[in-house]
Homo-oligomer: A and B are copies of this chain.
Amino acid sequence: MSNVYAVIMAGGAGTRFWPASRALRPKQLLPLAGAENETLLAATVRRLRPLVTEDRVVVVTGEHLAEPTARAVPGVPEAQILREPAPRNTAPCIAWANATIARLDPDAVVMVLPSDHFISDEPGFQRVLELAVASAERGHVTTVGIVPSRPETGYGYIEVGDPLDAGGGAARAVKRFVEKPDRARAESFVAAGPSRYLWNAGMFFFRVRDMAELLERHLPGVAAGVARMGDDPAAVREVFPTLESVSIDHGVMEKATNLAVVPGDFGWNDVGSWQSAWELAERDANGNAVGASDVVVDARGNLVRSLGASKKTIALVGVNDLVVVETDDAILVIPRDRAQDVRLVVDALKKSGRTTLT
C-alpha cells in the first residue's frame, strides 16, 4: 500500500498505571502488554509494518514527551514526530498530521490509530486495516468498530447502518456515534449484535483530501490555523495552542455524512487499567502474573510487576487478586477490582505537593 500513511496519536498522559505511568512516562511508553520490553507505542508501529513502514508513520505527541517518544520508535523519521506545544484534543492533532502528510503525498490515504492499545490477533487486525483502507480509497471516511464482548459502559458505540459498496466490501454505513451508554443501554447494544452496534476504538481512515475538506467545512478555524503553521516550528508554537480544543468525533465525525465502518474482532484491548494488564499478562495455573524471580505462596490471581532498576524479588503469601507494582521510587498495593482508584493516589500526591511522584 504505497501511498498509505499512519498517524499514531501518542499524546496521552494517563495516571491509571501509577506508579509505572507518570506525567513524563505515560502509558504508551510502558511495556504493559505483550512482549516484555516492547512499549505499547512500539508495538503499535511494529504491527503496522506489513502495511505501512516506519518512513510513512507520523507520531503526534506532546513537546515534553518528544524525546522518550522518539526513542521508543527509532525507525520513524525525526521530522514525522510532531510535537504539540499544548494539548488541544484530537481534531487539531489530526488536522496537523493530515496537512503534514498532504505535503508529502497529496494522494495519500491516512490511518489514524491510538498508540496505547493492545491487539492479540495481529494478522486479523491487518486484514481489517486493509478493508478500512479500501473503504477510505473509495471516498468514505471510515472507522473500525470493535465487536463488543461485554456491555461496557466506558466506551462510545457506533450504530451500524446498511452495507456500502454493493461490490462486496466489508464496510457499512455509520448511522451515528453513540456516547458512553448507561448499563441498560450497553446491554441492549450487545444484545442487538455486532451488525447493529460496535465499539468506537478511535481508529479512522481517509484520503488526505477528504479530511482536508471536512475540516474546512466543519472546523474552518482549525483548518486555517494549520495552514498558517505549515511546517515552521515557530509558527506551530505560536498558532497550535490557539486552536479550538475539540475531538475529531465531535468536531468532524458526528457532522460528516458518508461515513463507513468496518467491523473488527482481533483481540482488541484498550489496556485501561492494571486490571487489563493482568488480563493480558501471562499467568500461572493460580492466575498469578509474576516475574520469574518472584515468590508466591498460597496466593491467587495477583499481578506483580517489578519495574525498578533493582528488580527486587517480590514475595506474596496468602493474598489474592492484588496488584503489586514496584518502580524506582514507589510501590503500589491495590486490589485488582479497585484498579481504577489508582488515581486517588495520584490525587493525594498532588494535593500534598509531591509532584515528582506524579
Where the two chains meet, the residues of A that have a C-beta atom closer than 8 Å to any C-beta of B are 18-19, 293, 295, 297-298, 306, 310, 312-319, 322, 324, 326-335, 338, 341-342, 344-345, 348-349, 354, 357
CB distance from A303 to the nearest CB of B (A): 12
A297 and chain B: residue at smallest CB distance: B344
For this complex, 10 residue pairs linking A to B, each with C-beta atoms less than 8 Å apart, are A297-B348, A306-B331, A310-B329, A315-B345, A317-B333, A317-B344, A318-B334, A318-B335, A319-B333, A331-B331
CB distance from A182 to the nearest CB of B (A): 25
Chain B positions within 8 Å of A315 at CB level: 18-19, 330-334, 345
Whether B357 contacts A313 by the Cβ 8 Å rule is yes
Question: How many angstroms from the CA of A30 to the CA of B235 in the assembled complex?
Answer: 61
Contact indicator B313/A329 (Cβ below 8 Å): yes
CB-CB under 8 A from A324, the residues of chain B are 331, 333
Expressed in whole angstroms, the minimum distance between the Cβ of A287 and any Cβ of chain B is 16
Tell which of A317, A326, A341, A344 has the most Cβ of chain B within 10 Å. Answer: A317
Decide: A345 near B310, CB < 8 A? Known: A331-B331, A332-B315: no
CB neighbours (8 Å) of A298 from chain B are 341, 344
Closest approach, in angstroms, between the C-beta of A156 and any C-beta of chain B? Answer: 28
Q: Are B349 and A295 in contact (CB under 8 A)?
A: yes
The docked-state distance in angstroms from the alpha carbon of A344 to that of B317 is 8
